[in-house]
A and B are shown apart, each in its own frame.
Chain A
């Protein structure tokens, strides 16, 4: 899993500081990661990793840790 690449996507898509503790980031716990930003984040993840996420996975993507797990699943194909 390309963790650093995913972190960079989070930083750019959510517009957060690069020193943020991204590993512990959870949905709706910071102003920058609300429902609108979530869809932008999904789009950026899809573009960066060239995948197409299922809606259930978009709903489940409630933290950076979970995002890592979900993206890994798609990359393993």
Chain B
């Protein structure tokens, strides 16, 4: 489905990013995997050796613009064209509105908005010659639904949704731009949730379970592939019908 294409995935070392890397590899994509922790990326590259694809790994602190620039200088030595970008890296910190200081707010926006914004600026300069160009952002159901203790996180993801819609208009028809809004996914990020919250989200899901990374990765694959070639500026909820 993605043969011969180069896909850049941020936050690739675990959770949704790691599962997406596996799914893309199964579908023939060459991978540019980005995360802070190079050791976990080395392990992941080893896991992906069974597939006949190129896997390049890059350690990068996406909150540092200079590191993002250096990342693309390195990527250009691997490929001149990027076909797919999955902006998956993100952070969540839970705190009540009155207990959220400006540093927490800035951290959240730095990682969840500024980093994908800057990274996508660089990436799209390498996507203009791709006939398959697709940018995918990982938003959150919190962006539109909100959540107690998640005002900072929800704000940053909501801003991401607005950026996605604008970017889709600016980059059409050359590059498609979409986002996925997962519900609560069984990854390290839900460590911030209490057991009561997990139970609440499980019971609210129409499937009576939390999402798996694969539930999200399959939709990422759909948006990355030609199956969605007439879809852009779209936010797809993958939240099990939580309302």
Is B truly associated with A? yes
On A, residues with C-beta under 8 Å from B are: 36, 39-40, 42-43, 46-47, 50, 52, 54-55
Could you say which of B69, B76, B80 contacts A54, with CB atoms under 8 Å apart? B69
Decide: B72 and A39 in contact? CB cutoff 8 A.
no
CB of B73 within 8 A of chain A? yes
Chain B neighbourhood of A43, CB < 8 A? 125-126, 128-129
- Is B121 an interface position by the 8 A CB rule? yes
Which B residues touch A52, using CB under 8 A?
69, 72-73, 76, 122
Instruction: Classify the secondary structure of A's interface with B.
Output: helix
B125 contact from A36, A42, A50, A54, Cβ within 8 A: A42
Q: List 21 A-B contacts (CB under 8 A).
A: A36-B170, A39-B124, A39-B125, A39-B128, A40-B128, A42-B125, A43-B125, A43-B126, A43-B128, A43-B129, A46-B125, A47-B80, A50-B76, A52-B69, A52-B72, A52-B73, A52-B76, A52-B122, A54-B69, A55-B118, A55-B121
| Residues of chain A within 8 A of B126, CB atoms compared | 43
Q: Which of A40, A50, A52, A55 has the most CB of B within 10 A?
A: A52
Question: In the complex, which residues of chain A have a beta carbon less than 8 angstroms from the beta carbon of B72?
Answer: 52
Range, interface on chain B = 10 to 19
Residues of A within 8 A of B124 (CB): 39
With a cutoff of 8 Å between Cβ atoms, the chain B residues found around residue A50 in the complex are 76
Q: Which residue from chain A places its CB closest to the CB of B66 in the assembled complex?
A: A54
Nearest Cβ on chain A to B33's Cβ, whole angstroms: 20
One digit per residue, 1 when the CB lies within 8 angstroms of any chain A CB and 0 when it does not, for chain B 118-146 equals 10011011101100000000000000000
Q: How far, in whole Å, are A43 and B123 apart by their CA atoms in the complex?
A: 10
Q: Which of B105-129 contact A (CB under 8 A)?
A: 118, 121-122, 124-126, 128-129
Please report the C-alpha to C-alpha distance between residue A42 and residue B72 in the assembled complex, in whole angstroms: 15
Bound Cα distance from A52 to B129, whole angstroms: 17
Q: Which A residues lie within 8 Å of B170 (CB)? A: 36
